[in-house]
Structures are given as C-alpha cells and as structure tokens.
C-alpha cells in the first residue's frame, strides 16, 4: 500500500520528509493504524456493536514544536502544504479536503483543551489506501490527535482522542460517520479483534485464532457519492428508530422488529429494509464474538456470509464487483472461514478469515477471474491484527 515511497515505511517516509522539507530534526513521531471491520457494518452510529481490528498499515506524523502559534503541515503522499494559526479561528481550507482531518482535530482539541496554543511543523505519510474502506481518515485523525496530546502534554485519553477525531469528521469534514474507525485506531490490540459496544464504549478483545489469516482484497472500485449515500443511510436509520420510539436501533431486538416489520414496510419499505440490516447485524456481531471465542470459525464464516447478503439486499451498499469478489473468496474458503464486504460500501474492500494454508488458493482464484470478469485489477493483502496508536 506504500507505492509512493518506494519501500519506506510511513514512519521512515514521514521522518525523511520532515528533514527534507523543514531542514531541522523532528522531536516527535506518532503512528496510528487503519482498520478492517470483521463484522458489524453501519451499526456504530446506531449505538450498536462492531468487531474490527487495527491493521498493519497506518499513518505516521513526524513533527516538532514551533515557538509561534503556526501549524505548518506537509502531506508527503500528496505533496501538498497547509498552514493555519492556532490564535485565529480554524476554518476549512478552500481547496484541500485532506487538511480538514488535521484542522478539524486541532480545532476540537483546542475546544476541549483551550491551553493548547503551541504551533508545530508536521510531515504526514501513510500507507492505508485512501477511500477504500480501511479508514485512512481515522488513522490521520487519531495520529493528529495523539501528536497534539503529546506535544501539548494534554490530559486526554486515547478514547477522548478517538472521539475528537470523530467530531472532526462529523462537523468539520462533513461525513456523519460513527465512532468505530477512530476507536479501533486508538485502542487496537496486537493479534486481537476488538468487540466494541459503540454506546457504552466497552471493549472486549478476542484473539485471532491461531493459524487464521485476515485477508483483505481491494476491488479498486471507487465511487464519488459515498459521503452522500452514507449520510442518507444514517438518516433512514434515524427514521426507523423514531418509528420504534427508541434512541437508536440498538434498542430494537430482532423479535421487536419482526412484530412491527409489516407496519413499517407499509409506511416506508426502504426504511424497513435498512432497519432490518441494522437489527440483524447487531445480533450477528454478538453471535460472531461468541463463536470466535469457541474457535468456531465455520460459524463465524456463516455470520459473515449473512452479513454480506444483508448489506447487499437490505442496506444496499455493495456493488457487483465487490459481490463477485466475495463469491470468489467464499468458493475457495468454503466452511473453513468466511468473507464479506468491509467498510462503508459502494466499492472498496472485502475481508476474509481463512486458514493460512488457503491464502494462496484465494489469491489465485481471484487473480484468475476478477480482472477478466470486471476489467479491474484487485489488490490483495494479508494483514495482521495490530496495536492502536503509538508514540515511537
Ligand atoms: P477511508 O477512511 O475509507 O480511507 P475517507 O474518504 O474517509 O476514506 O478518507 C480518505 C481521505 O482522508 C483522503 O481523501 C484524504 O483526504 C485523507 N487522508 C487519509 N490519509 C491521508 C494521508 N496520508 N495524507 C493526506 N490525506 C490523507
Ligand atoms: Mg474514512
């Protein structure tokens, strides 16, 4: 995922760029990972359950304190600059979207910690593929938050940093995402999946079973409408919650849903389908966590398959290329694991859990068929569940 820097890690690339661009030595290096969600899609903003892991791809920031109140930021991968002043109101950049993730985090850190006034020079570099469902945005937000926390010696926990990242994305960038991406980037644990209760923020780690690979395949389908579609799904979920008279769909059990499903369908068939996805998906996450603890990968695979069908038919966030990738992976994996789309949808990646000895046959199956069938070349990754944000 690091094509831009010819073999340098994000940490190395950020440090090298810092010295090249600012012509002095950096004093701080932070790193935050992207993530892959194993099960529980679009449930986070419904106060529900998710089960992601942080991955071994992420974003690094190399930086140093300035004596004034300027933030000067160099995005290594885009070769673009940003500059803003902490003593003035922080507004969106007129042109560069990426700056919103940095400016937004700094703005909301300042709101929470008004003592944060010191300027800094930053070089940012990452190797999470952008806009592919692996959350490069959260990696950037959490890395920025950690950078400010350490630089300013601020009393902020990693959970608070994550929530500030979400706030920046919701209010500053304008994507109404939930809290999963930032929480897992902040709290990930090496070799573990993390079940997160997105209402209480309770987390429960479960080891990735020994000999099981986390495979990610990028369809390389990209759509422009993702933020709009995302925000409309969120609205539909809120409509459904209002119908049931609850704060969020998390509060509706499958039985309660079924009792009033036809009534809701008569009112708004699309909203009913959206709600069915969320209500059933929440239960699938809970069931998957139990199955995983027992080492029952077959059952986890069944649940991943059901999750995919629900995203495809009820939530309507998959695309044919992604459906096809899932089918190819499932054909090889059989009942030894599972596969599903991962991330917000409308393109992006699939995730599969499979015995390590099946990695090469999954790779080959997809290489043999995907491009022929779709005209697109996939990107195949075997990744490892990784630790969350760190100061190096
Ligand atoms: P995802 O989070 O799934 O990768 P998003 O659309 O939410 O997709 O976020 C992608 C955006 O985040 C990019 O278009 C860019 O603006 C910003 N971004 C992420 N990583 C970096 C980086 N290393 N340097 C600059 N901008 C980045
Ligand atoms: Mg994102």
- Compute the distance between CA of residue 21 and CA of residue 40 in angstroms, rounded to an integer: 42
Mean pLDDT by 10 residues, the chain (392 residues): 67 98 98 98 98 98 97 97 96 96 98 94 96 94 98 97 97 93 98 98 96 97 78 95 98 98 98 98 98 96 98 97 98 98 95 98 98 98 97 96
Total domains present in the chain = 1
Binding-site sequence positions for ATP? 131-137
Q: Establish if 369 belongs to a structural domain.
A: no
Ligand nearest to the CA of 347: 1
Binding-site sequence positions? 41-44, 131-137, 169, 230
Q: Establish if 158 belongs to a structural domain.
A: yes
Q: Work out the angle at residue 258's Cα, subtended by the Cα atoms of residues 257 and 259, and round it to the nearest 5 degrees.
A: 90
Q: Establish if 214 belongs to a structural domain.
A: no
* Set 77, 181, 191, 335: catalytic member: 181
Q: Establish if 319 belongs to a structural domain.
A: no
| pTM of the predicted structure, to 2 decimals | 0.96
- Compute the distance between CA of residue 58 and CA of residue 134 in angstroms, rounded to an integer: 10
Predicted pLDDT of residue 6: 62
Q: Establish if 288 belongs to a structural domain.
A: no
Secondary structure of the chain as H, E, C letters: CCHHHCCCCHHHHHHHHHHHHHCCCCCEEEEEEEEEEEECCCCHHHCCEEEEEEEEEEEEEEEEECCCCEEEEEECCCCEEEEEECCCCCCCCCCCCHHHHHHHHHHHHHHHCCCCCCCEEEEEEECCCCCCCCCHHHHHHHHHHHHHHHHCCCCCCHHHHHHHHHHHHHHHHCCCCCCHHHHHHHHCCCCEEEEEECCCCCEEEEECCCCEEEEEEECCCCCCCHHHHHHHHHHHHHHHHHHHCCCCHHHCCHHHHHHHHHHHHHHCHHHHHHHHHHHHHHHHHHHHHHHHHCCCHHHHHHHHHHHHHHHHHCCCCCCHHHHHHHHHHHHHHHHHCEEEEECCCCCCEEEEEEEHHHHHHHHHHHHHHHHHHHCCCCEEEEECCECCCEEC
Atom from ligand 1 closest to the CA of residue 136:
4
Predicted pLDDT of residue 167: 98
Site to probe by mutation for ligand 1, drawn from 55, 140, 223 as the one with most ligand atoms within 8 Å of Cβ, is 140
Predicted pLDDT of residue 1: 45
The CB of 97 under 6 Å from ligand 1? The reply is yes
- Provide the ipTM: 0.99
Question: What is the distance in A from the centroid of ligand 1 to the CA of 116?
Answer: 25
The CB of 143 under 6 Å from ligand 1? The reply is no
Predicted pLDDT of residue 225: 64
Q: Establish if 301 belongs to a structural domain.
A: no
Instruction: Name the closest-CA residue to atom 20, ligand 1.
Output: 136
The CB of 141 under 6 Å from ligand 1? The reply is no
Question: What is the distance in A from the centroid of ligand 2 to the CA of 176?
Answer: 10
Q: Establish if 40 belongs to a structural domain.
A: yes
Predicted pLDDT of residue 2: 44
Q: Establish if 336 belongs to a structural domain.
A: no
Instruction: Name the closest-CA residue to atom 11, ligand 1.
Output: 137
The CB of 2 under 6 Å from ligand 1? The reply is no
Instruction: Name the closest-CA residue to atom 12, ligand 1.
Output: 137
Atom from ligand 1 closest to the CA of residue 100:
16
Ligand nearest to the CA of 14: 1
Predicted pLDDT of residue 367: 98
Question: What is the distance in A from the centroid of ligand 1 to the CA of 272?
Answer: 32
Task: Print the domain residue range for 143.
Answer: 10-208
Catalytic site includes residue 314:
no
Question: What is the distance in A from the centroid of ligand 2 to the CA of 137?
Answer: 4
> In Å, what is the CA distance from 161 to each residue of 36, 120, 201?
20, 18, 13
Predicted pLDDT of residue 3: 42
Question: What is the distance in A from the centroid of ligand 2 to the CA of 227?
Answer: 9
Instruction: Name the closest-CA residue to atom 8, ligand 1.
Output: 131
CATH number at residue 190: 3.30.230.10
């Amino acid at each position: 995922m690091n094509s831009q820097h010819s073999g340098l890690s994000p940490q190395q690339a950020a440090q090298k760029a810092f010295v090249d661009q600012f012509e002095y030595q950096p004093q701080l290096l932070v790193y935050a990972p992207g993530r892959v969600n194993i099960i529980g899609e679009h449930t986070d903003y419904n106060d529900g359950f998710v089960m992601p892991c942080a991955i071994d791809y992420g974003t690094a920031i190399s930086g140093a304190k300035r004596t004034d109140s300027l933030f000067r930021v160099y995005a290594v991968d885009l070769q673009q600059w940003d500059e803003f002043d902490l003593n003035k109101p922080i507004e969106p950049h007129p042109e560069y979207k990426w700056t919103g993730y940095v400016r937004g985090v700094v703005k909301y850190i300042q709101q929470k910690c008004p003592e944060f006034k010191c300027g800094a020079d930053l070089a940012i570099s990452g190797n999470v593929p952008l806009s592919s469902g692996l959350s490069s945005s959260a990696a950037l937000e959490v890395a920025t938050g950690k950078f400010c926390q350490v630089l300013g010696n601020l009393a902020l926990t990693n959970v608070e940093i994550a929530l500030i990242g979400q706030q920046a994305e919701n209010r500053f960038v304008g994507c109404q995402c939930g809290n999963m991406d930032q929480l897992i980037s902040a709290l990930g644990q090496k070799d573990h999946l993390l079940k997160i209760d997105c209402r209480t923020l309770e987390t429960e780690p479960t080891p990735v079973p020994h000999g099981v690979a986390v495979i990610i395949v990028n369809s390389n389908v990209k759509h422009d409408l993702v933020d709009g579609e995302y925000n409309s799904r969120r609205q539909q979920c809120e409509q459904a919650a209002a119908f049931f008279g609850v704060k969020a769909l998390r509060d509706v059990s499958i039985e309660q849903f079924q009792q009033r499903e036809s009534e809701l369908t008569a009112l708004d068939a699309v909203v009913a389908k959206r709600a069915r996805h969320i209500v059933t998906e929440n239960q699938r996450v809970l069931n998957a966590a139990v199955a995983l603890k027992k080492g029952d990968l077959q059952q986890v695979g069944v649940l991943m398959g059901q999750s995919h069908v629900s995203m495809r038919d009820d939530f309507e966030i998959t695309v044919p290329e992604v459906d096809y990738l899932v089918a190819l992976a499932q054909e090889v994996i059989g009942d030894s694991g599972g596969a599903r789309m991962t991330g917000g949808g409308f393109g992006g990646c699939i995730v599969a859990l499979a015995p390590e000895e099946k990695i090469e046959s999954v790779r080959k199956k997809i290489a043999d068929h995907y491009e022929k069938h779709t005209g697109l070349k996939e990107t195949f990754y075997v990744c490892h569940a990784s630790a969350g944000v760190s100061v190096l």
